[in-house]
Structure 1
Amino acid sequence: MEHKVTFILAMVLMLVLSALVEGQTETCDVQAKARKNCGFSGITRKECEDRGCCFNNKVRGVPWCFHKQVVEAAEEEEEDCPF
């Protein structure tokens, strides 16, 4: 009986978490001052991207390897369906 309860609670938790994440996307379009460091001094583009992070070395004094930013996905316009 306990296994069934644990399983049901796990399923409910997964459904809640998936609903929270739905409609979100990640982007590397992060303002320089808002970057959160994901690497170390001297990290290469490949090393950074292998970590799943973004690399942009165009701005001095900020992290070049940084975490992606989570943003709300643009809502798609629903097309009128004749059916």
Structure 2
Amino acid sequence: MEPKVVCVLLLVCVLAAGSLAQGMEGTCEMEPKERENCGYPGVTPQDCADRGCCFDNSVRGFPWCFHPRALGPDEEDCVF
């Protein structure tokens, strides 16, 4: 492959990965009372992420490791 083609493919991959990461971030934004526990006592942020869950220990009395919010039908991810 020519170097230009490799550079374009690499750029597309980087942009797509960034778009996917932003989409996952948005699903973790929810009210603390909406959180459904996904962890266990003493779960670390890495263990939580390995389970595919969100981690936020800033709100006491609510799960710190919780399932991401499911996207509704009107909130589908658009990937170009």
Whether the TM-score (by the shorter chain) exceeds 0.5 is yes
1:42 alignment counterpart = 42
1:70 alignment counterpart = 70
Q: Measure the CA separation in 1 of the matches of 2:48 and 2:77.
A: 30
Structure 1 residues 75 and 40 mapped into 2: Cα distance closer, same or farther (>3 Å)? closer
More helix by share: 2
Give how far 1:66 is off: 0.1
4+ long deviations beyond 3 Å: none
Give how far 1:30 is off: 1.6
Letter in 2 for 1:70: A
Larger Cα-atom Rg: 1
Q: Provide structure 1 residue ranges, at least 5 long, that are not aligned to the other structure.
A: 1-24, 77-83
SS class of match (2:48): helix
**Cα displacement string for residues 47-74 of structure 1 (whole angstroms, at most 9, x for unaligned residues):** 0000000000000000000000012316
